[in-house]
């Protein structure tokens, strides 16, 4: 059954080997996408299973994906203050499509890159088919910078929660929207049922609070990411601390203040800081890195994440202890003397450069992209990703398990069971004619002992067997 075009959506032919939303939007690159399962049942293979939404400054982007098509829709705020041109349907469609192509960097042939990495690297080759469609997204540098300042000593779920709180407290809502409609033709035919719970993909989606998943059919309110000006005030830090940002609160506020003071909005209210950050894309990698390292809370790894994910530095491999372990295990990077002696993994500048250089040699110009595939493959939340769901074993009663089995005698024979001398496995419980499960275990020598006997009776039985031998 082919999937009809969802209402309000446009179709972009795009095979999943070029882009897998289920992986790319949940592997720790971006933290603001909300995800709506479209059914709690099994959908036909050609039907999208989820809808993904992201709030920009002027619109809400909605995406769905089938194996060969990316569906996209734009939702504008009800009382738009935009010029009349943006409300023209064709213009809106073209702008959203241009944003999608830029954000997902669809000009890069991912199939070619996977083939190249597989030729270069036998380790990558083992992950190629299971983790297809993982590419780097091209984020807004300001949002990317703040998100990864929040990533220090953190995990994806907590970063997602922090970024969501940041938007809700410092950015006015753009619009509210109910959950997506299901497939009316499938509901009418009873092929699928409405989602009983949002958590239909537990390997990727941990909890509704942590992963931006709506819990019910009420309206879902969307906030754009706040500007540097909105976070520059000194009072912001205390609010962020109350929201659980900890020591990162000052880092976010101070960085926003530095950018806002150096690059204030212009007369047209265009944020100068955000515009200036995009100019780092044209800088050499080393120079852009030095600029980023000048901000509060930005170390080498955070700077490299921003270089890779929003500033077009595709060769950069962000290195942490996790990536260092991968490099030692698979790519011949020697452990430091401290690692050998204490079992700890100190991330020194020398080690960082060593790992970065080695992985760049293995993977080439797009080393940062290749790194994201192996990084995703090693995430705990992706442990079952790309694997066929195991068939559920039916739950059966003991009597059902006995169908076709012979009925055992009421009392075990006192004669010993001769074996080849190897220890036998524990006997499978079976049900006797009396309806009571006979419980037997085997011991060295092949003797089977009935646990229903008393200790004295079992001792006597063993003596009789020994005598008969």
Report the catalytic residues.
301
Which element (helix H / strand E) includes 401? Answer: helix 398-401
Gap between the Cα atoms of 71 and 8, Å rounded: 10
Grouping H, G, I as helix, E, B as strand and the rest as coil, residue 391 is coil
Q: Give how far the C-alpha of residue 156 lies from the chain's centroid of Cα atoms, to the nearest Å.
A: 8
Tokens of 441: 């275990």
Gap between the Cα atoms of 404 and 318, Å rounded: 60
φ, ψ of residue 431 to 5 degrees: the values are -100, 125
- The end-to-end CA distance of the chain, in Å, is 71
Grouping H, G, I as helix, E, B as strand and the rest as coil, residue 389 is coil
**357, 150, 385, 105: which is closest to 245 by C-alpha?**
150
In terms of C-beta distances under 8 Å and separation of at least 24 residues, what long-range contacts does 356-360 make, across chains too?
356/316, 356/317, 356/319, 358/327, 358/331, 358/332, 358/333, 359/317, 359/323, 359/327, 359/331, 360/315, 360/317
Burial classification of residue 302, based on how many CB atoms lie within 10 Å of its CB (0-12 exposed, 13-18 middle, 19 or more buried): buried
Gap between the Cα atoms of 116 and 131, Å rounded: 15
Grouping H, G, I as helix, E, B as strand and the rest as coil, residue 431 is strand
Which element (helix H / strand E) includes 385? Answer: none
User: Which residues 6+ apart lie within 8 Å of 204 measured at CB?
Assistant: 22, 26, 381, 382, 385
């Amino acid at each position: 059954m082919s999937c009809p075009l969802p209402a309000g959506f446009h179709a972009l032919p795009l095979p999943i080997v070029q882009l897998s939303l289920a992986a790319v939007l949940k592997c720790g690159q971006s933290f603001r996408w909300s995800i709506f399962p479209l059914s709690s049942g099994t959908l036909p293979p050609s039907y999208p299973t989820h809808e993904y939404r992201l709030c920009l400054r002027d619109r809400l982007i909605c995406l769905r994906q089938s194996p060969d098509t990316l569906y996209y829709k734009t939702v504008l705020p009800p009382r738009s203050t935009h010029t009349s041109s943006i409300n023209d349907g064709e213009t809106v469609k073209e702008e959203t499509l241009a944003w999608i192509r830029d954000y997902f960097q669809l000009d890069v042939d991912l199939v070619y890159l996977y083939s190249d990495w597989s030729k270069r690297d036998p380790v990558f080759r083992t992950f190629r088919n299971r983790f297809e469609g993982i590419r780097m997204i091209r984020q807004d540098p300001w949002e990317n910078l703040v998100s990864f300042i929040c990533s220090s000593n953190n995990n994806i779920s907590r970063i997602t929660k922090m970024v969501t709180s940041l938007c809700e407290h410092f950015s006015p809502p753009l619009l509210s929207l109910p959950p997506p409609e299901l497939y009316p033709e499938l509901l009418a035919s009873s092929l699928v049922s409405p989602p009983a719970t949002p958590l239909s993909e537990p390997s990727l989606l941990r909890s509704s609070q942590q992963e931006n998943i709506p819990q019910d059919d009420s309206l879902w309110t969307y906030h754009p990411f706040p500007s540097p000006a909105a976070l520059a005030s000194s009072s912001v830090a205390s609010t962020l601390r109350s929201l659980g940002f900890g020591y990162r609160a000052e880092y976010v506020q101070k960085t926003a203040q530095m950018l806002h003071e150096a690059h204030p909005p212009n007369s047209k209210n265009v944020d100068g800081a955000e515009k200036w950050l995009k100019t780092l894309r044209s800088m050499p990698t080393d120079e852009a890195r030095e600029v980023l390292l000048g901000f509060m809370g930005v170390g080498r790894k955070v700077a490299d994440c921003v270089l890779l994910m929003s500033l077009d530095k595709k060769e950069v491999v962000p290195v942490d202890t996790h990536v260092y372990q991968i490099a030692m295990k698979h790519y011949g990077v020697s452990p430091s003397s401290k690692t050998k002696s204490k079992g700890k993994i100190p991330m020194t500048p020398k080690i960082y450069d060593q790992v970065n250089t080695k992985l760049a040699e293995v993977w080439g110009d797009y080393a940062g992209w290749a790194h994201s595939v192996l990084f995703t493959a090693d995430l705990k939340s992706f442990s079952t990703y790309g694997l066929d769901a195991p068939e559920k074993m039916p739950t059966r009663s003991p009597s059902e398990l006995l169908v076709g089995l012979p009925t055992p005698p009421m009392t075990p024979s006192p004669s010993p069971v001769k074996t080849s001398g190897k220890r036998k496995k524990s006997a499978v419980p079976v049900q006797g004619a009396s309806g009571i499960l006979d419980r037997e275990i085997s011991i060295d020598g092949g003797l089977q002992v009935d646990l229903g006997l008393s200790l004295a009776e079992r001792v006597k039985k063993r003596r009789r067997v020994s005598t008969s031998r």
